[in-house]
Amino acid sequence: MSDDNISLKNNNAPAENSVLRNFRMELSFDGSSFHGWQIQPNGISVQELVQGKLSKLFGNYPIKLHGSSRTDAGVHALGFAASFKAPESPYIPDWKIKRALNKLLPRDVRILDVNYADEDFHARFSALAKAYTYVINTGDENPFSAKWSWHLPKCGNIENIKQAASFLTGTHDFSAFTVSRSEIDDPVRTIYRIETKFFENFLCITFLGDGFLYKMIRSIMGSLVKTGMDTASPESLKELLASKNRSLGAPTAPPHGLFLVKVFYEENWDDFHIDKPPFQ
């Protein structure tokens, strides 16, 4: 079998008593065509797609792919992490998994790396921190920026946004910034920092925290942009946080401007910063 022609015609399946190895995967995807990461009954998800291709590579072994986050429909990722356990493949050696998967997957999903992981590694539960970036386009729109940013030409008061964001850093009950609060056991999360940067006309707001509630960042963004458009005061974010009442906040920001940039498994995020919009 050549590197450029992955054949799945071998009918050999892994033996039932095959030793399972734990793998850590990093991937990138454009979420525009997907119903988020997690398998859904009403549309194709990234998890379902990649998991299915993985199972084929391993002789139809029923692989369970665990993701680092449950990204919403339309949300993108640069450095999404996943883990899975699998026996030896009857088709390819382990070092060819990345290349083989990329040949089977559509171009809006790319596998960046596949490596062995410690037996107890789990992409979700082993994560220590995550970085997300939301992109706002304050300039002219084009077919490409329309796909990966929220077009808000009047959202330019960066100082207001920075001041409002400062009230959200630290450990808080973020009930006012999540959807389906009744389904969440613990609404307390820690945001280590929120960085706001302009790259020409693209305003990028990066959130670094230990974890985020369902639609938490998009809920925050809906209220943050009001301060950037001078239709709300920075202090209104402080009051909203204290209220723990989602109904008092602004509508949730659209998903297409949000990117999961990186998942951290070691405490090395102090020096993490973005130096360009995530889609460039």
Compute the distance between CA of residue 101 and CA of residue 54 in angstroms, rounded to an integer: 7
**Which residues are CB-contacts of 136 (< 8 A; sequence separation ≥ 6)?**
149, 150, 151, 152, 155, 202, 203, 204, 205, 225, 228, 257
Q: Is 72 a catalytic residue?
A: yes
Radius of gyration of the CA atoms of the chain, in A: 20
What sign for the dihedral angle of Cα 216, 222, 226, 229?
positive
Compute the distance between CA of residue 133 and CA of residue 147 in angstroms, rounded to an integer: 15
DSSP calls for 196-255: EEEETTEEEEEEEES---TTHHHHHHHHHHHHHTTSS-THHHHHHHHHT-GGGSPPPPPG
Q: Which two tokens stand for residue 260?
A: 């999961």
Count of C-beta atoms within a 10 Å radius of residue 267: 8
Separation of first and last alpha carbons in the chain = 35
Query: In a 10 Å sphere around its CB, with 0-12 CB exposed, 13-18 middle and 19+ buried, how is residue 179 labelled?
Result: middle
b/e map of 95-108 (b: 16 or more CB within 10 Å)? ebbbebbbebbeee
Helices (H), 88-215: 97-104, 145-148, 158-166
Q: Could you say which of 3, 4, 30, 72 is catalytic?
A: 72
List, by residue number, the catalytic residues.
72
